[in-house]
Structure 1
């Protein structure tokens, strides 16, 4: 049994307080490769990873604010949207790149991209970095999808914020699996 892999899975924790440095080079490549190993029915590779770091964080913030404005958000929400990417030194927008397929429905392709987010977060944690998978109403904004050059069928499945933890990770307490299991 691979105890270190099991330990990683059992101690998975999100970290919302992130600072520089962000993963880069070979470490970032490992994170991206982990995402590409997500379960993928039909070998469609239904994902795309949009990386924002440095000035790209400000560009992403501008796109988020413009999308919030186009979607009719209040002024304070628009202002906050512009600042969202600045909470980490690296933000990966993970997109389900949907391909019409007679055996692989869109939903499965969305799930595959979601698995990629989890795999990348775990790969970051395994290499000493922290991360948090964020969502929110802007990930459903068709205006944001347009601004990012995505197709009509594509769907953002999350924003993966990565960096160095600015605080110690709080490992969630174990839940009683019996509360979530029903044998059939």
Structure 2
């Protein structure tokens, strides 16, 4: 029988987010599958790749339930049942839950409740975010990036004075990519 492995699945919602908080203390991880996909996204190719990679005796480490719930609380139960049928253990570190083999009725119930709470928490965050945006707009606040008016002439003048792209960007409070874009459109 091949050596069992500790496999980790890590997911963040956006490209800008990092995975630093999703750690597995005291566990030597053999392979990590990392995905950047929104919680609402049903298609998770890296999770699918991870599940296909797992072999009997392996243990899948996941930081928390909300990392794998896609479209409801049943996702976590289905995942655990599927992996258990393959002889794969699964650990949800934040919740302190481990599954090896068939789930008992109590385990299934607790897992369903915790996954439902995670789903509800995600929904509450979205509601509060929408309320905050609506309140800010009602007060006339601009949402999104601030609009900065910079002319091609301003950039060309600063470059002609001998400033480099980074210095021009800092002085005009814009990104270096904006300076390059405007510079390229001469």
Bucket of the pairwise TM-score, normalised by the shorter protein: under 0.3
- Taking structure 1 as the reference length, the TM-score comes to 0.25
- Taking structure 2 as the reference length, the TM-score comes to 0.24
Greater percentage in strand: 1
Larger Rg over CA atoms: 2
